[in-house]
């Protein structure tokens, strides 16, 4: 069994990446082969509306035709048993890198039928890990849950069962004394990092294990 994680954060060793790594550890503990991709290491753009993936009898029907750094990752998706995406939330949405990846990942498999169908040939599990500087209460007030639900709907439509994990009120800066951010209490942030983030890591590990089970 093969499980891959896709990191939509520009940082490879911070909150999002850490949780993704924990999820892969969970999958590996059940015997899965695992791999992580860091989107900010790749040179690519979002969908360019060439519609090669929609052209009747076209050689790229059902597949993205753009040849760039994303091509290898998209090819890898064809053979995996589970995918776990991860992204911090920037201004109410996933990062631009993750959004562009999702366009290229999902659109080629989407079919304009009623109800919408999928060209992906089988059912696989998916997960989405979100990290947020905001609290859970503030996240609900801002309506981020609608964004999460929309992403889950798309993943379920194309691939199959999907679940998510949210890590709230994350430790954003490595040193709060070096940035202008008077809104935050560094001591409170540090306490949450010490007390709550390890629980988020445990939940990420469990998610990865469930992907294999």
Tens of pLDDT, residues 31-44: 999 999 999 999 99
pLDDT at position 142: 87
pLDDT at position 135: 84
pLDDT at position 136: 84
pLDDT at position 66: 95
The residue ranking higher by pLDDT, 10 or 137, is: 10
Q: Contact 52/109 with Cβ under 8 angstroms?
A: no
Nearest CA-CA partner of 84 in 166, 7, 15: 7
Query: What average pLDDT does range 57-68 have in this prediction?
Result: 92
Tens of pLDDT, residues 63-109: 999 999 999 999 999 999 999 999 999 998 999 999 999 999 999 99
DSSP state of 92: T
Burial environment of residue 36 by CB neighbours within 10 A (0 to 12, 13 to 18, 19 or more) = middle
pLDDT at position 141: 87
Q: How many domains does the chain have?
A: 1
Band of pLDDT at residue 115, cut at 50, 70 and 90:
confident
pLDDT at position 13: 92
Q: Contact 193/166 with Cβ under 8 angstroms?
A: no
Domain extent, residue 17, equals 2-212
Q: What is the pTM of this model?
A: 0.93
Tens of pLDDT, residues 143-183: 898 999 999 999 999 999 999 999 999 989 888 889 998 88
Residue 88: CB atoms within 10 A of its CB come to 23
**CATH label of the domain that carries residue 19:** 3.40.50.360
Strands 125-131 and 82-90 turn out to be parallel
Cis peptide before 87 (omega within 30 of 0): no
Q: Contact 122/43 with Cβ under 8 angstroms?
A: no
């Amino acid at each position: 069994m093969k499980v891959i994680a896709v990191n939509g954060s520009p940082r490879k060793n911070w909150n999002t990446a850490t949780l993704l790594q924990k999820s892969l550890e969970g999958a590996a503990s059940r015997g899965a082969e695992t791999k992580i991709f860091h989107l900010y290491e790749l040179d690519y753009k979002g969908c360019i509306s060439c519609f090669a993936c929609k052209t009747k009898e076209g050689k790229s029907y059902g597949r993205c035709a753009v040849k760039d750094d994303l091509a290898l990752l998209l090819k890898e998706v064809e053979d995996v048993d589970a995918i776990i995406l991860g992204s911090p939330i920037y201004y109410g949405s996933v990062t631009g890198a993750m959004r562009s990846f999702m366009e290229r990942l999902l659109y080629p498999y989407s079919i304009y039928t009623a109800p919408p169908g999928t060209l992906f040939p089988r059912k696989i599990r998916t997960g989405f890990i979100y990290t947020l500087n905001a609290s859970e209460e503030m996240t609900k007030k801002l309506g981020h849950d609608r964004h999460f639900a929309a992403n889950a709907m798309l993943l379920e439509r194309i691939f199959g069962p999907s679940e998510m994990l949210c890590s709230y009120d994350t430790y954003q800066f490595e040193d709060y004394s070096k940035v202008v951010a008077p809104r935050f209490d560094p001591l409170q942030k540090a306490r949450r990092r010490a007390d709550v983030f390890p629980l988020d890591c445990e939940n990420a590990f469990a998610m990865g294990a469930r992907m294999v089970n």
